[in-house]
Amino acid sequence: MGQQTGFYPIFLDLGQRKCVVVGGGPVAERKAAGLLKAGAEVTIVSPDVTQGLQRLVESGDVRLLERAFEETDLEGATLAFAATDSQGVNQAVLDAASRSGIPVNISDRSNRGNFVVPSSFMKGPLQVAISTGGGSPALARIIRQDLEHAVAGELVELAQMLERLRPRVQSRFPENEPQRRRVWARLVAPDVLEHIQAKSWDRVEEIVEECLS
């Protein structure tokens, strides 16, 4: 087995999945906000919470267990997050999650958790995530900001078009993977992007129909 060189990048579908955030401060609030955007069912465990988290509780967006962490809080959880200032509490969350086989993120400098949350942005269906493996979140944030400015509108429009076309391509060539690869390669060619940038939608449509003929 080769030496581990980093984390395995993955995007998770957390729709209606229970995710537990232990902690009630600003870091926990950011974790909860990101999870809610992903459609997760968020449980906060903390005796005290920020005003922002309290508003989420009052609106019914998150569930609050207003007390100290207990191991049973993780029952049925897909992911766990320890976001407290107490190394002891964070360790307790890590130990409980490990016993239950639940991936856990620890929001301190210890690198004790087994996954990290990248710096990311989304434009339309296009989602980009940057990670330094937990080594420098500040650097990941700078790179993410640069990339976010670099992603032009025509790339987003192209991504939206490809998303709409996927069912048609799959239906047209259900048993022909090489042909599907050729179609996708043609549709992401530089000239297609240029036509989108120029708003030459008639020509874009012609290329699409040529690919599907």
pLDDT tens-digit readout, 158-198: 999 999 999 999 999 999 999 999 999 999 999 999 999 99
Look at residue 80 and give its three-state secondary structure. strand
pLDDT of residue 4: 62
Enumerate residues 6+ apart whose C-beta is below 8 A from 114: 103, 104
The number of CA neighbours under 13 Å toward the Cβ of 50 is: 17
- Long-range contact set of residues 15-18: C-beta below 8 Å, sequence gap at least 24: 15/39, 15/40, 16/40, 16/41, 17/41, 17/78, 17/79, 18/43, 18/76, 18/77, 18/78
Q: For 121, phi and psi rounded to 5 degrees?
A: -150, 160
User: What is the pLDDT averaged over residues 128-147?
Assistant: 89
Residue 30 tokens read as 């950011």
Name which CATH class applies to 18-117: alpha beta
Contact call for residues 131 and 118 (beta carbons, < 8 A): yes
Please give the order of strands across the beta sheet that includes 18-22. Answer: 62-65, 41-45, 18-22, 79-82, 104-106
Q: What is the pLDDT of residues 27-39, one digit of tens each?
A: 999 999 999 999 9
Query: Span 54-61, mean pLDDT?
Result: 97
More confident residue, 134 or 196: 196
Residues 189-199 pLDDT 10s = 999 999 999 99
Mean pLDDT of 144-160: 91
Whole-structure pTM value: 0.82
Burial of 51 (0-12, 13-18, 19+ CB in 10 A): exposed
